[in-house]
Chain A
Amino acid sequence: MSNTKEIIARNVFFLSAIASAVMILAILVLMIALGIPLFKAGNFLAIWTGPWAPHKGLYGIWPMISGTLWIALLATALCMPLSLGASFVITSLGGPRLRRMLGTMVRFMTGIPTVIYGFVGIFLLVPLVREGIGGPGMCVLTAGMVLAILISPTMILFVTDSLLAVDLSYVQAAKALGANRVQRLLYVMVPRATGGMAAGIILALGRALGDTLIALMLAGNAIQAPRALLEPARTLTAHVALVKAADFDSLEFRSIFACGIVLYLFATTATVAVRVMLRKREVPT
């Protein structure tokens, strides 16, 4: 009696795990299946690298890929000094009370909804950029700046954790040799935590690539590959969000599945990279 119960329970647990895992593959398969008309319609390569010119029947998503890369890389580049600086203060430089306060602040930041960053960005930052620096205001730079703040808690939490995971005996040995706080941080902790720090940066980049609302609200959404920071751009995510489902069979509509596939691949690459880097960290040195 209780044996059957055990077996049933075991199978229920197993099936739930299978069901959740199948979702991940189902998402990819469904997008490829729905994108097939687009892939068959024209030059396969042109979908990814060609221009977007609906009047000529060209539905290349290169402008969106390029917009995504510009905005996400800019955000990561802006976020890196901020996050590394804050992590250094949280792990070594600050006093105990300051560390706790900063820690609480970063945790609070993880809970701020994306759409609110976008809302404040539109009414506070866009006019500032437009009048202070020039251009239309809604551009790569504005979106990149807000996105940098959005992804900073990810990077800070990750980097802080990898710095604190460094074996205490190394840090204490350095202390015994007379190294001060800064020296212990720079010459002992940072070199031993590079894998984890790099993983944190990749993870933050992954979040920046996948974010929808900031770019949708702040980047202007013009379909063109940006060539400067003050030009508007459209990301893959914003393109998916903006296409109106007026005609399910049009190639224009099908292009959102190509965007979905690229986003899926970007995200999966980032995830795999993070896993590989963390595995390296676990190897005892």
Chain B
Amino acid sequence: MQEVLEKLAVFLSWTMTLVLCLCLSIFLIYLLIKGLPSFGAELIFGKAEPLKVLLGQARVFDGIFPAMVGTFFLVLLSAVLALPVGVCSGIYLAEYASPVMKKLFGSLFDILAGIPSIVIGLFGFSLSIFLHNHFSDRFGPCLLISALSLAVLVIPYIVRSTQMSLEELPSDIRRTALALGATRLQNIAYVLIPNALSGISSGLFLAIGRCAEDTAVILLTGVVATAGVPSSLLSQYEALPFYIYYISSQYSNPAELSNGYGACLVLLGICSVLFMFAYGLKKHLSYRTLYRV
């Protein structure tokens, strides 16, 4: 009886693994078959001349160039906002906080990491209404609000990766400089942070990947279907994930749909490279950053 049960467990495990692999393969092969034909300069620049577009002399109307630029600025801005706050919080938790504080902040960041991105989008949206009503009409959903919200979304990743990579440093690294007369701050700045750099950057790559792929936050905070290349922090913008979402419901001809598949491939490429990079730097730390194991 027990032997039958064991055999059954083995059989089911293999079947389920096979099913999962099949699902993933069908998904990827379908995407490649549909997306590769449209892959090329025309997907990005449409009918405009690539060189002119890059120099800012021509606008792209039927390519994904504005969406790519929008995503790039969005990611850059969110990283700039989230990185200093996240790293400083991580340093505090790893090096200064008392056990009670550590526990308190640890639970708060866990909660923040678990909040659905649409709720954070809603937060950004409410913030923009508030600013609009109380400060200036010029405020509305825009690039800056989106980047701020995305920064809130990914701060827990950066905090956690900073904290964990500092905490796992061995005590001989931790104490040598102190024994030689370095202050606590010098020890952190010249010894601990450089040694924890690969862990911190793996957290940063995960954070950037999340910013690039998230659609729910930007949906509520200022992304639009046609805006061209964003001109200021307070302007609306286009982004790759939103472009894909928009095409899926609003495409009017096969060419647009095929561009949608092309955009999927581009976004998949960007995100998988970022995530694999993060895992390559520090595999186990990245798991824990993403899923707090």
Chain A interfacial positions (CB closer than 8 Å to B): 2, 5-6, 9-10, 12-14, 16-17, 19-21, 23-24, 26-27, 30-31, 34, 81-82, 84-86, 88-89, 93, 102, 105, 107-120, 122-124, 149, 152, 154, 157-158, 161-162, 182-183, 186, 196, 203, 206, 209-213, 217, 237, 240-241, 245, 248, 256-257, 260, 263-264, 267-268, 270-272, 274-275
Contacts and interface: CB of A to CB of B under 8 A. Distances in A.
B114 A267 contact: yes
A182 to B, nearest CB: 5
Give the 8 A-B residue pairs with the shortest CB-CB distance, closest first.
A85-B16, A210-B116, A111-B275, A113-B213, A16-B88, A13-B92, A212-B216, A271-B114
B175 interface: no
A131 to B, nearest CB: 17
Contact of A20 (B10, B159, B183): B159
Q: Is the interface of A mostly helix, strand, loop or mixed?
A: helix
B118 A110 contact: no
Interface majority SS on B: helix, strand, loop or mixed? helix
Interface stretch (B20-28, B47-55, B59-67, B225-233): B20-28
12 contacts: A17-B159, A19-B89, A24-B115, A85-B16, A85-B17, A107-B276, A111-B271, A113-B268, A116-B267, A212-B118, A263-B119, A271-B114
A228 to B, nearest CB: 24
Contacts of A6: 183-185
Interface in B168-185: 183-185
Nearest to A13: B92
B96 A13 contact: yes
B122 A31 contact: yes
Contacts of A10: 96, 185
B219 interface: yes
Interface string B167-208: 000000000000000011100100000000000000000000
Contact of B31 (A20, A89, A120): A120
Contacts of B36: none
A248 B188 CA distance: 48
Contacts of B215: 113-115, 212-213
A157 B291 contact: yes
A14 B92 contact: yes
Given A10-B96, A20-B112, A105-B21, 8 more contacts: A9-B188, A86-B17, A88-B13, A89-B14, A119-B260, A120-B27, A158-B291, A263-B119
Interface in B119-151: 119-123, 125-127, 129
B271 A240 contact: no
B115 A267 contact: yes
B163 to A, nearest CB: 10
Chain B: interface residue count, which band?
A: 35 or more
Interface of B: 6, 9-10, 12-17, 19-21, 23-24, 26-27, 30-31, 34, 84-86, 88-89, 91-93, 95-97, 105, 107-123, 125-127, 129, 152, 155-156, 159, 183-185, 188, 209, 212-213, 215-216, 219-220, 241, 244-245, 247-249, 257, 260-261, 264, 267-268, 271-272, 274-276, 279, 283, 287, 290-293
Contacts of B109: 20-21
A274 B261 CA distance: 37
A190 to B, nearest CB: 10
B213 A30 contact: no
Given A85-B14, A161-B287, A217-B245, A2 B183 contact: yes
Contacts of B119: 27, 31, 210, 240, 260, 263-264, 267
B208 to A, nearest CB: 11
Contacts of B283: 107
Given A20-B112, A116-B268, A93 B260 contact: no
B30 A120 contact: yes
B122 A256 contact: yes
